[in-house]
């Protein structure tokens, strides 16, 4: 049992859950991550299982501190999401959710690029059903776009792995770098799943269209698997610093004007991924510890925020900020849990985001990246604006919309309560998280300088938000779908395809016209020359025929014997 792959427990559990019904099905699904977590806790760093296929040595199971920490995180996320889905979930969501989580674990423990590729594609195929389960036309279209992009990421990963093998003779999933062409392609594949700038629109497009539980699942696994892969294969690649800076800053401008609060959370997810990518790019032990710690805390508070908005969606039927407000009266516990998640993502002292984000910021300062540090401060203020203030304010406070609904179901409240306790517990006792990190930690988050700097940042950000609202200068929430990079494939490419189709139709019609004119001309000439009155239809005299035959004979003899 000590070497049992946790992913196998999830896959077997999914098959079992598929055969059950009702409460038994929900209970069985909830027990799967518990059983798998027990098996994962038996694993020791250094455990490996290798297999030989066609004379190639593969390592489908490799355990170290980095993969173990992410494994613990994914088990917690799976348990909380399945608990949240106790009321709102169905067979499709539970089965595909278990397969999805198992695929993420398969990727975590992969020691070679082929196993990683298999897990990479399984992540895509299993997760899309959490979007389609919503059952709306928008969800169907969004899910198809999501699937195409995720499958494309896997194809690029496979191409990169093959080229990398031809260049280096190795399929090991370890430090890869960007020196080789294969390494560059692998980085691109990871970048698509990590939502790099201009490759991120699939996340903003798809996550808000998923079911209430599906969005929680999606926010936990796909992008964090990509962050794990980046940390393992591309730590210290300087280009990632600049990519992460853009990721942290760019989504803020879209989130401010967004009306769909789950889309706001998707933008803030992209923002937080930017911090992690910066940490990977710096590549020092402090920065990598910060990346891993922030990924851990991020899954907890982002799941909590998506659960709170999922509960609103479940009860109200929508999460449009302009049409909500006053829900704290009928959903007080959900409002409190949302505020805890908002405080965590905003990195308030005594909440989980503070003890993880400060590791990355400290690593940036330690390496003297002053510009990067300033952008991250701006990004921290921005995420407080749109995720820390905007989401709870417009959902539960703001104007009273008159909406009166029941509080979220008990299973949802319990899941949010556990998530809230973890956010506060890690914020108050960070040493428990630091002890799990892959590299030794020599860092104290609660110093006077750290606390004062963050408190000032939050205070002035809140002051700016209040002033902008009172002066009516805060950008209004627009009731529209805001496109950024997805404009390329949702507007530009379809318009281009329609233009090409119209041009092809015109060319076809023009060609048909020319062909018709040519055939008509031939028919007319035939009637003119071959008809009863045509030149070939007349009666020719025998003498004329003899003269023409003689002329042709003379011409032939000249050419044949004249030389």
Instruction: Report whether pLDDT(320) > 80.
Output: yes
For residue 95, what pLDDT band results from cuts at 50, 70 and 90? very high
Question: Residue 418: exposed, middle, or buried by beta-carbon count in 10 A (0-12, 13-18, 19+)?
Answer: middle
Which residue(s) pair with 49 in the sheet? 61
**What per-residue confidence (pLDDT) applies to 516?**
82
**What per-residue confidence (pLDDT) applies to 541?**
63
- Going 345 to 350 to 356 to 359, the CA torsion angle's sign is positive
**What per-residue confidence (pLDDT) applies to 61?**
95
Weakest mean pLDDT among 25-29, 48-52, 194-198, 483-487: 483-487
**What per-residue confidence (pLDDT) applies to 471?**
80
Compute the distance between CA of residue 202 and CA of residue 112 in angstroms, rounded to an integer: 27
Based on DSSP, count helices (H) and strands (E) in the chain, helices before strands.
Answer: 22, 2
**What per-residue confidence (pLDDT) applies to 523?**
72
Q: What is the mean pLDDT of residues 385-413?
A: 89
Report yes or no: 41 and 68 within 8 Å, Cβ to Cβ: no
**What per-residue confidence (pLDDT) applies to 199?**
92
> Which tokens hold the place of 478?
């627009």
**What per-residue confidence (pLDDT) applies to 487?**
60
For residue 263, what pLDDT band results from cuts at 50, 70 and 90? very high
Over the stretch 129-144, which tens digit does the pLDDT of each residue have?
999 999 999 999 999 9
**What per-residue confidence (pLDDT) applies to 533?**
62
Compute the distance between CA of residue 75 and CA of residue 264 in angstroms, rounded to an integer: 26
Beta strands (DSSP E) in 184-276 are none
Instruction: Report whether pLDDT(1) > 60.
Output: no
Over the stretch 499-523, which tens digit does the pLDDT of each residue have?
888 888 888 888 888 888 887 777 7
How far is the CA of 461 from the CAs of 14, 19, 456, in angstroms? 45, 52, 8
**What per-residue confidence (pLDDT) applies to 330?**
92
Compute the distance between CA of residue 425 and CA of residue 433 in angstroms, rounded to an integer: 10
**What per-residue confidence (pLDDT) applies to 484?**
64
For 134, phi then psi, to 5°, come to -65, -35
Report yes or no: 217 and 133 within 8 Å, Cβ to Cβ: no
**What per-residue confidence (pLDDT) applies to 529?**
60
Nearest CA-CA partner of 288 in 356, 370, 226: 356
For residue 532, what pLDDT band results from cuts at 50, 70 and 90? low
Instruction: Report whether pLDDT(555) > 70.
Output: yes
For residue 475, what pLDDT band results from cuts at 50, 70 and 90? low
State the DSSP H helix or E strand holding residue 48, giving kind and residue range, or none if neither. strand 48-53
Compute the distance between CA of residue 98 and CA of residue 121 in angstroms, rounded to an integer: 15
Q: What is the mean pLDDT of residues 266-270?
A: 95
Q: Which residue has the higher pLDDT, 544 or 410?
A: 410
- How many Cβ atoms are within 10 Å of 405's Cβ, its own excluded? 15
**What per-residue confidence (pLDDT) applies to 327?**
92
- Going 333 to 338 to 339 to 345, the CA torsion angle's sign is positive
Instruction: Report whether pLDDT(153) > 80.
Output: yes
Over the stretch 169-203, which tens digit does the pLDDT of each residue have?
999 999 999 999 999 999 999 999 999 999 999 99
Compute the distance between CA of residue 157 and CA of residue 167 in angstroms, rounded to an integer: 15
The Cβ-side half-sphere exposure at 143, using a 13 Å CA radius, reads 22
Instruction: Report whether pLDDT(57) > 70.
Output: yes
Over the stretch 332-389, which tens digit does the pLDDT of each residue have?
999 999 999 999 999 999 999 999 999 999 999 999 999 999 999 999 998 998 888 8
Task: Name, in order, each residue with C-beta under 8 angstroms of 319's C-beta and a sequence gap of 6 or more.
Answer: 260, 261, 262, 309, 312, 313, 395
**What per-residue confidence (pLDDT) applies to 536?**
56
Instruction: Report whether pLDDT(537) > 60.
Output: no
The structure's pTM equals 0.86
**What per-residue confidence (pLDDT) applies to 449?**
86
């Amino acid at each position: 049992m000590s070497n049992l792959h946790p992913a196998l427990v999830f896959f077997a559990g999914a098959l079992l859950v598929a055969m059950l019904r009702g409460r038994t099905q929900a209970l069985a699904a909830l027990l799967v991550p518990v059983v798998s977590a027990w098996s994962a806790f038996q694993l020791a760093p250094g455990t490996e299982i290798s297999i030989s296929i066609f004379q190639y040595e593969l390592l489908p199971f490799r355990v170290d501190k980095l993969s173990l920490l992410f494994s613990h995180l994914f088990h917690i996320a799976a348990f909380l999401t399945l608990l949240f889905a106790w009321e709102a979930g169905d067979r499709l969501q539970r089965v595909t959710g278990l397969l999805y989580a198992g695929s993420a674990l398969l990727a975590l423990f992969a020691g070679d690029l082929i196993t990683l590729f298999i897990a990479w594609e399984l992540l895509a195929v299993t997760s899309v059903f959490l979007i389609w389960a919503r059952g709306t036309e928008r969800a169907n279209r969004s899910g198809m776009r999501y699937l195409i992009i995720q499958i494309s990421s896997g194809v690029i990963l496979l191409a990169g792995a093959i080229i990398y093998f031809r260049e280096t003779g190795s399929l090991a999933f370890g430090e890869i770098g960007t020196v080789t062409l294969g390494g560059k392609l692998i980085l691109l594949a990871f970048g698509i799943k990590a939502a790099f700038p201009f490759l991120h629109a699939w996340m903003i497009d798809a996550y808000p269209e998923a079911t209430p539980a599906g969005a929680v699942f999606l926010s936990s696994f796909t992008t964090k698997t990509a962050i794990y892969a980046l940390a393992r294969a591309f730590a210290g690649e300087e280009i990632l610093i600049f990519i992460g800076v853009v990721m942290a800053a760019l989504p803020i401008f879209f989130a401010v004007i967004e009306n769909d609060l789950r889309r706001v959370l998707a933008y803030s997810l992209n923002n937080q991924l930017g911090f992690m990518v910066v940490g990977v790019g710096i590549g020092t032990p402090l920065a990598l510890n910060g990346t891993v710690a922030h990924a851990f805390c991020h899954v907890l508070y982002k799941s909590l925020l998506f659960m709170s908005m999922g509960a609103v969606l479940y009860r109200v039927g929508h999460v449009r900020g302009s049409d909500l407000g006053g829900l704290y009266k009928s959903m007080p516990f959900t409002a409190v849990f949302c505020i805890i998640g908002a405080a965590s993502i905003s990195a308030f002292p005594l909440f989980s985001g503070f003890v993880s984000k400060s590791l990355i910021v400290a690593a940036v300062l330690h390496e003297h990246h002053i510009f990067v540090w300033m952008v991250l401060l701006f990004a921290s203020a921005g995420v407080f604006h749109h995720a820390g203030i905007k989401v709870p304010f417009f959902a539960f406070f703001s104007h009273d919309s008159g909406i009166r609904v029941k509080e979220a179901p008990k299973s949802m409240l319990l899941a949010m309560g556990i998530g809230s306790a973890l956010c506060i517990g890690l914020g108050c006792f960070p040493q428990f998280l630091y002890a799990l990190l892959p590299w030794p930690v020599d860092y104290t988050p609660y110093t006077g300088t750290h606390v004062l700097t963050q408190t000032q940042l939050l205070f002035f950000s809140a002051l700016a938000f209040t002033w902008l609202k009172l002066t009516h200068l805060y950008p209004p929430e627009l009731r529209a779908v805001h496109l950024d990079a997805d404009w390329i494939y949702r507007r530009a490419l379809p318009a281009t395809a329609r233009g090409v189709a119209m041009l092809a139709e015109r060319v076809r019609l023009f060609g048909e016209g020319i062909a018709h004119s040519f055939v008509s001309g031939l028919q007319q000439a035939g009637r003119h020359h071959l008809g009863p009155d045509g030149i070939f239809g007349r009666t020719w005299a025998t003498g004329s025929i003899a003269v023409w035959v003689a002329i042709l004979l003379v011409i032939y003899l000249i050419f044949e014997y004249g030389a």
